[in-house]
Amino acid sequence: MPAYKAPVKETLFLLNDVFNIEQYRSLRGFEDLSPDLLSAIFEEAGKLAGEVLQPINLSGDQQGCKRLPDGSITTPDGFIAAYNTLKDGGWVGLSADEAHGGQGLPATLTILINEYFASANLAFGMYAGLSQGAYAALNVHASDDVKSKFMEKLASGEWTGTMNLTEPHCGTDLGLLRTKAVRADDGSYNISGTKIFISAGDHDLAENIVHLVLARIEGAPEGTKGVSLFVVPKRKVDADGNAAETNGVTCGSLEEKMGIHGNATCVMNFDDANGWLIGEENRGLKAMFVMMNEARMGVAVQGLSVSEAAYQNAVTYARDRLQGRSLTGPKFPDKIADPIIVHPDIRRTLMSIRSFNEAARALIVWTALKSDEAHRTPDSDARQKASDHLSLLTPVLKGVLTDRGFDNTVAAQQVYGGHGYISEWGMEQFVRDARIPMIYEGANGIQALDLVGRKLPADGGRALQAFLGEIGMFIQAHATDEDMQPFVLPLKTAAEDLQAATMWFMQNALGNPDHAGAGSTDYMHMFGLVSLGYMWARMAHVCLQQKSEGKGDVAFHDDKLLLGTFFAERHLPETAFRRVRVENGSESMMKMAADRF
C-alpha cells in the first residue's frame, strides 16, 4: 500500500525563507503567524493527512461511492469519520472570516494544507475544497440575507458546497446552458434543469448541500449574457437557519468514471427547486468566476499533490527493488543486485519529478501570497499588481501543474515496472486520479487560450510586462554572481524564448487568430517553464546565502542546489523547441479538410 508524508519542511522553507511571509504581517490574518505557529499548523495538517486521510485512499478508490435504492448516496467506509475529524478540527473554515466562525487565516495556508490533503486522498479532499470555493463566491457576491443562511454552515463544514455549471450539451461553452430560473412572488427563484458531472453533488458527509447553480432567467438574452447564478440548497433553510424539508434537488445517478472514485460525481436534477440570486441578474458568470478561479488554483494544487505522492512512493520502491548492476560497477556487492536507484535512467525520472514538484510548490506559494495580498491590502497600487499576477498565473498554474502532474504519475509508475500496473501498489490509482485535473475547471486547452487570448493582452500587456520585468531584474541583479550562473543563464535564455514567442503572437496572431490557438498550449508550457525556472533561481539564491552565513541545514541546501541545476539543465531548454512550434504557426494543421481526418 502506498505511503505519504507531508513535506512540511519544504512548505516552511518557502513561506519563511524564500517568500518572507513576515513582510505581510500588517495584513489581516497574517498578524500572529510566527514561524512557530506556522510550523505547528503544518505539522498538525501533515499528521491529519498521513494518519487519517491516506489510510482510506486506496480502499476508497476500490469501494467507491454508491447510490442506494432510496436514491441516497454513500461515500466509502471511513469517509464520514475522517470528514468529522476535518470539520471538528476547524480545517474547512481555516481561512473563512471570523464573523462567520472561521479562523480568518490567510488563504495561502488553506491552499498549502489542501496540497497535503489531496496528496493523501484526492477524492476526499474535494468535498471540503468545493465548500471553500462556494464560501468565497457567496462572500463576495451574495446579499446579507443569503449570507446569513449559508456562511456559518459552510465555514464550519456542517454543510458542503458544489458548483453546477455543466449540462449534457454544454461544457466549455456555457452560453449554451438551458437550466431555467423563474421568479417567485417572494423574490426568490424556482430552478429547473439537469446538470451533469457535479462533484460532491450528493453524499452522506453533511446534512445539507449548498449548490451554486448557473441558470437562465425566463426571458434572459441568449448566450453568456443571459446567465445568472443562484444558490440552491439540497434542503430548505428554516427561520432558525437549520436544514428543513427537501427542495426539489435530487441526484439522478452517479457517473461511472476512471478515477477519484471516492468523490461522488452526480447527475443533478433541479425540479422547481427554490433558490436565491447571487450578484446581479445576467451577470452570473462574473460571480461564478470567483469560485472558478479559487477552484482553478485548487485543481493546480491537485496536480502537484498527486505528483508528490507518486514521487515519494517511487523513491521508496527504487531504493528497495534490486535489479541489475550499476554501470560503474556494483554499489551493493553484498546483495544479489543493486537497487534500481543506482541507474541513471531511474535517477533522471525521480529528479525530473522532484525538481518539478519543488518549483511547482514555490510557484503556488508565490501566487497564493499574491492572492491574499490582492484581497487584503489597503494599498491600491499593491492590490492592482497582486491581482495582475494572480490573473496571469492562474491559467498557467492550472494548465501546467496538472499536465505535468499527470505525466509525473506515469513516470513514477514506470519506476515500478510491471508492479506499477498492478492495483495493490497504488501507482495506477495515482495515474487515474491525476487525469481529471487536466479536464475539469476548464480543460487545459482552454486554460492555454485564456492565457494567450485574454490574459496576455489585458490592460495593454501590463501583467506580462511586470512578470517579465521582475525576472529580468533578478537575472540582472545576479549577473556577476558566479554561483548563480547555473540558474540565471538558462533562465535568461528561456525568458528570451518566451519573449520572442510573445512577440510572434503580437505580429501574427491578430491577423490570423488560428496562429494563437495553434501555439497556445506550447506557449502556456513555456510560460510554466520560465516561472518554474525563476522559482529555482530564487530558491537557489536563498540556499547559497544561508550556506555562506552558516545557517540552516547544509544537506537540504545542497540537495536543492543539485535539483535546481538539474531543472535548469534538463527542463528549461524545452522552451527552445516550444518556441519553434509557436513560430511555425497553424497552417499545416488548419489546411486539412475536416472530412479528411
Ligand X SMILES: Cc1cc2nc3c(=O)[nH]c(=O)nc-3n(C[C@H](O)[C@H](O)[C@H](O)COP(=O)(O)OP(=O)(O)OC[C@H]3O[C@@H](n4cnc5c(N)ncnc54)[C@H](O)[C@@H]3O)c2cc1C
Told to check if 536 binds ligand X by CB under 6 A, we report no
Total binding residues toward ligand X, as defined by CB under 6 A: 19
% helix, strand, coil for the chain, step of 5: 60, 10, 25
Residue 84 Ramachandran class (φ > 0 left, ψ -120 to 50 alpha, else beta): alpha
> How near is the Cβ of 517 to ligand X at its closest, in Å?
6
Q: Applying CB under 6 A, which part among 13-21, 158-166, 468-476, 553-561 lies near ligand X?
A: 158-166
325 binds ligand X (CB under 6 A): no
The answer to whether 223 contacts ligand X (rule: CB under 6 A) is no
Kindly list the distances between the CA atom of residue 261 and the CA atoms of 35, 254, 279, in Å, as whole numbers in the listed order.
37, 10, 34
Of the ranges 28-36, 139-147, 234-242, 438-446, which one interacts with ligand X (CB under 6 A)?
A: 438-446
Smallest distance from the beta carbon of 92 to ligand X, in angstroms? 17
Q: Is 198 in the site for ligand X (CB under 6 A)?
A: yes
Question: Does residue 199 touch ligand X according to CB under 6 A?
Answer: yes
> Is 93 an interacting residue with respect to ligand X (CB under 6 A)?
no
Of 225-233, 330-338, 441-449, 486-494: span binding ligand X (CB under 6 A): 441-449
Q: The cell 556487492 sits on which residue?
A: 333
Residues whose CB is less than 8 angstroms from the CB of residue 92 and which lie 6 or more positions away in sequence, other chains included: 86, 128, 131, 132, 154, 155, 156, 157
Report the chain's C-alpha Rg in angstroms.
24
Residue 443 Cβ, how far from ligand X at the closest point, in Å?
3
Q: Are strands 189-199 and 265-278 parallel, antiparallel or unpaired?
A: antiparallel
Interface pick for ligand X out of 114, 164, 228, 250 (rule CB under 6 A): 164
Q: How far apart are the first and last CA of the chain?
A: 44
The helix (H) or strand (E) run that includes residue 587 is helix 587-591
Three-state SS sequence of 313-356: HHHHHHHHCECCCCCCCCCCCCCCCCEHHHCHHHHHHHHHHHHH
Q: Which residue is nearest to ligand X (CB)?
A: 171
Task: Name which of 197 and 536 has its Cβ closer to ligand X.
Answer: 197
* Rounded distance between C-alpha atoms, residue 127 and residue 264, angstroms: 9
**Segment contacting ligand X (CB under 6 A): 145-153, 284-292, 443-451, 561-569?**
443-451
Catalytic residues: 441
Residue nearer to ligand X on the CB measure, 27 or 295: 295
Smallest separation (angstroms) from ligand X to the CB of 164: 6
Torsion of CA 295, 385, 477, 20, to 10 degrees: -60
Give the 3-state secondary structure of 441-507. CCCHHHHHHHHHHHHCCHHHHHHHHHHHHHHHHHHHHCCCCHHHHHHHHHHHHHHHHHHHHHHHHHH
Q: Would you count residue 166 as binding ligand X (CB under 6 A)?
A: yes
Q: By CB under 6 A, is residue 165 in contact with ligand X? A: yes
**Using CB atoms within 10 A of its CB, is residue 51 exposed (0-12), middle (13-18) or buried (19+)?**
exposed
Q: How far is the CB of 135 from ligand X (least distance, A)?
A: 15
CA triple 153-184-243, angle to 5 deg: 25
Q: Which residue has the cell 492555454?
A: 448
Q: Which amino acid is at 592?
A: M
**Part in contact with ligand X (CB under 6 A); list of ranges 52-60, 157-165, 324-332, 540-548:** 157-165
440 binds ligand X per the rule CB under 6 A: yes
Comparing CB distances to ligand X, the nearer of 45 and 196 is 196
Surface-to-core class of residue 185, CB atoms within 10 Å of its CB (0-12 exposed, 13-18 middle, 19+ buried) = exposed
| Spatial separation of the C-alpha atoms in residues 229 and 223, rounded to whole Å | 14
Of 42-50, 164-172, 225-233, 324-332, which segment contacts ligand X by CB under 6 A? 164-172
Q: Which of 47, 183, 257, 462 binds ligand X (CB under 6 A)?
A: 257
CB of 268 to ligand X, least distance (A): 9
| Contact of 412 with 312, CB cutoff 8 Å | no
Residue appearing with cell numbers 518557502: 14
Question: Does residue 297 interact with ligand X by CB under 6 A?
Answer: no
Among 2, 102, 395, 442, binds ligand X (CB under 6 A): 442
- CB of 291 or CB of 351, closer to ligand X: 291
- Strand stretches in 129-207, DSSP E: 159-164, 180-183, 189-199
Cβ distance to ligand X smaller for residue 211 or 236 = 211
**520 forms part of the interface with ligand X (CB under 6 A):** no
Contact window for ligand X (CB under 6 A) among 15-23, 286-294, 380-388, 433-441: 433-441
Interacting residue with ligand X among 172, 242, 246, 507 (CB under 6 A): 172
CB of 449 to ligand X, least distance (A): 6
Q: Does 447 participate in binding ligand X (rule CB under 6 A)?
A: no
Interaxial angle between packed helices 344-376 and 107-120, expressed in degrees from 0 to 180 and rounded to the nearest 10 = 150
Cα 321 to Cα 327: distance, rounded to the nearest angstrom: 16
446 lies in the site for ligand X, by CB under 6 A: yes
Query: Is residue 163 close enough to count as binding ligand X by CB under 6 A?
Result: yes
Nearer to ligand X, 60 or 490 (CB): 60
Q: How many CB atoms lie within 10 A of CB 433?
A: 29
Please select the residue that binds ligand X; options are 80, 439, 466, 489, rule is CB under 6 A. 439
Q: Distance (Å, rounded) from C-alpha 530 to C-alpha 551?
A: 29
In angstroms, how far is CA 284 from the centroid of its own chain? 23
Residue 104 engages ligand X in binding (rule: CB under 6 A): no
As measured in angstroms, the least distance from the Cβ of 289 to ligand X is 13
Specify the residue, 179 or 355, whose C-beta has the smaller distance to ligand X. Answer: 179
Query: Whose CA is closest to 44, among 6, 2, 16, 79?
Result: 6
Work out how close the CB of 384 gets to ligand X at its nearest, in angstroms, rounded to a whole number.
Answer: 29
- Considering only 307-315, 432-440, 501-509, 556-564, which stretch makes contact with ligand X by CB under 6 A? 432-440
Choose which of 75, 110, 208, 265 interacts with ligand X (CB under 6 A): 265
Q: How far is the CB of 159 from ligand X (least distance, A)?
A: 16
- Stated as kind and residue range, the H or E segment containing 113 is helix 107-120
Is there binding between residue 292 and ligand X (CB under 6 A)? no
And the C-alpha cell for 585?
504557426
Residue 133 as a binder of ligand X (CB under 6 A): the answer is: no
In whole angstroms, the minimum distance from the beta carbon of 173 to ligand X comes to 6
Residues of this chain that interact with ligand X (CB under 6 A) are 163-166, 171-172, 197-199, 257, 265, 436, 439-440, 442-443, 445-446, 449
